[in-house]
Amino acid sequence: MHLQIKNINVIVASLDRGGTEKFALTFCNFLVTNGHRVNLVVLLKSQNRDNFNLLSPDLNVIELDLPTSLWHLPLNFLKLRKSLLDDSDLTLGLHDLGNLATLTLNKKKSGKVVTTLRHEVPKFSRSPFLLLSLILCYWNAETTLVNSEYLASKLAKFKVNTKFFPNCPEFMGNFETKVAKSSTFKVFTIANLRPEKGLEILLEIADKVSTLPIEFVIAGSGKLHNKLSGLIVERGLKVSLVGYVSDVSVYFAQSDLYLQTSISEGSPNSILEAMSHGMPIVASDIPSSREILGTEDTLFPLTDTDSAVELILKVIGDPKFSFELSQKNLHRVHSSFNQDEIYAQMLDYLISTVK
């Protein structure tokens, strides 16, 4: 039985879609299940309501619908402060906007502040104001929770106090390995359609195997949808864009391999989901993917699509290799990324922070 934190505020930008939003949902539910009083403050209006339907009824949720520009945030700090529980022991900021909001808080009311970093650090050359503002948030906080050792090393350069807790998938399937189900080999990807997901690399891969019985499915939505759709039609690729999918388990069940082509990630939760479904995985060789998979056997150098094709064809042509990958991924996700265990460790750490 955990000791109780009197009141916990969690501040998140929105509950639309993505890894941070899913973490907000599952971790808040975990806190409530363990007897804590949790106040979830959602700063922006969420267009997709799926995650709201999954929140515990015992969770207090306030959706503020603030103006979308972060420049307006200081003008709304009174509205934010009024939404917090009185005499709180802890306030947890999630993602960039949630972290920035913690700078406006009265710590006598909101308690100890803990921030988070769950994605790649913004580049100074592209967003100097955002990077400097976030570093100020991290310095202002008691500690910053990170979901990869790679991100911890990045923040160490700025003398930020961090604590590492890995991502963990919500679904933990049985120990069943994947076996190809038809003569057509199906490759699955989940991604927000943004530049950092490297989906044009995926299209290049699909182009190079277009004469083979291999189909690609991409689940997700985003600003690159029209561009990617146009390239698929122009090149005649066997790639389907199925949009946002609330339950991806059906696609995992129908697929034979998971492909990740990201250029940058904090810690790709989609790879963990694929592992928990017993998928063989081929992924771009970035630090966070290497950290999760624990091997370089199925990682290809960024932009080296020939190497990616070789790995995919090896999985297709070598059932023993595919079987071994599937088993390894299942065992690794069960042993190292168990959600209940990781969330319990995180809760213990947060309790020690407010003492």
Measured distance CA(355)–CA(349) in Å, rounded:
10
Residues 305 and 316 in one domain: yes
Contact by Cβ (8 Å): 292, 272: yes
pTM for the whole thing? 0.88
- Looking up residue 54, the CATH number of its domain turns out to be 3.40.50.2000
Query: How high is the pLDDT of residue 50?
Result: 85
Residues 124 and 267 in one domain: no
Measured distance CA(109)–CA(112) in Å, rounded:
9
Residues 158 and 282 in one domain: no
Residue spans of the chain under pLDDT 70:
1-3, 68-75, 171-182
Query: How high is the pLDDT of residue 1?
Result: 44
Q: What does the pLDDT look like over 13-38, one tens digit per residue?
A: 999 878 889 899 999 999 999 999 99
Residues 113 and 207 in one domain: no
Residues 199 and 68 in one domain: no
What is the amino acid identity at position 188?
F
Query: How high is the pLDDT of residue 45?
Result: 87
Four-point Cα dihedral 85, 91, 95, 97, nearest 10? 60
Residues 22 and 162 in one domain: yes
Residue 178 lies inside a defined structural domain of this protein: no
Residues 107 and 205 in one domain: no
* Structural domain for 314, as ranges: 185-336
Residues 201 and 121 in one domain: no
Measured distance CA(173)–CA(331) in Å, rounded:
11
Residues 74 and 205 in one domain: no
Residue 180 lies inside a defined structural domain of this protein: no
Residue 280 lies inside a defined structural domain of this protein: yes
Query: How high is the pLDDT of residue 161?
Result: 96
Query: How high is the pLDDT of residue 69?
Result: 58
CA angle 115, 351, 343 (to 5 degrees): 70
Residues 200 and 314 in one domain: yes
Residue 2 lies inside a defined structural domain of this protein: no
Q: Nearest 5°: phi and psi at 163?
A: -140, 125
Residue 176 lies inside a defined structural domain of this protein: no
Residues 211 and 144 in one domain: no
The total domain count for the chain is: 2
Residues 303 and 208 in one domain: yes
Measured distance CA(53)–CA(56) in Å, rounded:
8
